[in-house]
Amino acid sequence: MAGRVPLRVCLFSGASSLPVRIADHLGLLAEAGLAPELHLTRGSRELVEGLLAGRYDVVHAAPDNFIEWTDRTGADIVSWIGGTSGPLQLIGSPELAGVADLAGRGIAVDSPDSGFVSVLMKIVRAGGLAAEDVSLVPLGSTQLRYEALMAGRTAATMLALPWSAMALEAGFSLLGDRDHVLPGLQGSCGASLRTWLAAHPDTADSYLKALCAAITWLNHPANLQDANRYICETYGTTPTLADAVRRSIMDPRTGWSPSAFIDPAGMETVCRLRTENGRPPDGPPATYYSLEPYRRVFGFGLRPCADQPPETSEVGAECETATC
């Protein structure tokens, strides 16, 4: 611990956080000069309230949560680390054949105001139902909702890996898939208070580098057996399912990018979806994320907009392309 910088990170227990947990498991965060404390949350409210109260430095969740809380409270939460965009699926009880069968039923969610609810309602509308045809029941994290679905306490819920694959293996019904109705979404990301990010650039850069090292390790063929074993032990999956989880989370199209890059186009999609659901963001998409850590770590490939010199450009005013 001596000489290392404390870093408090809060995240959900699902497989979307795999690179973060691998970075801690392998000691990559420590090698980067950090003394990490990883906290698993039971819900987005607990996670974001902990960030606002100063209990956490970095939190990982759906960016929709951070936009919602920024607009609602005026807190300046900025997303700056990418994550997965999927898979994210609406899973229902075995007797349900389609979205239409959810009419008059309750659907378990983390929070009715944010998270995956925007995606859920997109799937509901695509299935021919209106928002008033279903009710949203707040239950907390994906694991808690998965347990409620298995026990018959809810008719359906949105699930990510490994819970979605485990439910399908158990005979539950696939009612909708985010990728079919909403490709290109930034499904998860890491965020901090903008004041913390500005005051701790070296810590942020070290964290980003450690995550990239973990992603590289997960993608290396020599490590696949060890990676799958870790997934089995951590998430309680079978070896076959563990391999499928790893491949999905590491898929560059729907999983983590090699540089943990937060996709500006994906963040635009998040904002557009909120508008479709009657909750438009207070500001343009670029106000909710920053590419500044990438500019420092991978600076040769990211530039501010041409009309703003690097030394005067503001965070959030970046061009939404990565070009040399």
Percent of the chain scored above 70 by pLDDT? 91
Task: Give the mean pLDDT of 47-55.
Answer: 97
CB 103 within 8 A of CB 124: no
Q: Is the pLDDT of residue 321 over 50?
A: no
Query: Distance between CA atoms of 144 and 150, rounded to whole angstroms?
Result: 10
pLDDT in tens, 194-210: 999 999 999 999 999 99
Confidence of residue 182 (pLDDT cuts 50, 70, 90): confident
What is the model's pLDDT at position 312?
A: 34
Q: Is residue 155 within 8 Å of residue 93, measured between CB atoms?
A: yes
pLDDT tens profile 2-15 = 689 999 999 998 88
Strand bridging mode 156-160 / 88-92: antiparallel
What is the model's pLDDT at position 23?
Answer: 98
Tokens 């909702």 belong to 145
Q: Which residue has the higher pLDDT, 302 or 121?
A: 121
pLDDT tens digits for 103-161?
A: 999 999 988 876 678 889 889 999 999 989 999 999 888 888 999 999 999 999 999 88
Angstrom distance (rounded) from CA 239 to CA 95: 28
Q: Higher confidence at residue 304 or residue 117?
A: 117
- How many Cα neighbours within 13 Å face the side chain of 86? 19
CA angle 180, 184, 187 (to 5 degrees): 95
Per-position DSSP letters for 139-189, written without gaps between them: --SHHHHHHHHHTTS-SEEEEETTHHHHHHHTT-EEEEEHHHH-TT----E
CATH superfamily of 88-181: Periplasmic binding protein-like II (3.40.190.10)
Q: What is the pLDDT of residues 185-194, one digit of tens each?
A: 888 999 999 9
> Alpha helices of 187-263 — where are they, by DSSP H?
194-199, 201-219, 224-235, 239-249
**In the block, which residue shows the tokens 């606002």?**
52
- 111 token code pair: 């929070």
Q: Taking a C-beta distance cutoff of 8 angstroms, is the pair 218, 18 a contact? A: yes
Q: According to the model, what pLDDT value does residue 323 have?
A: 31
CATH placement of domain 5-85+186-301: 3.40.190.10
Cite the residue boundaries of each domain of the chain with CATH code 3.40.190.10.
5-85+186-301, 88-181
Residues 6+ apart with CB under 8 A from 253: none
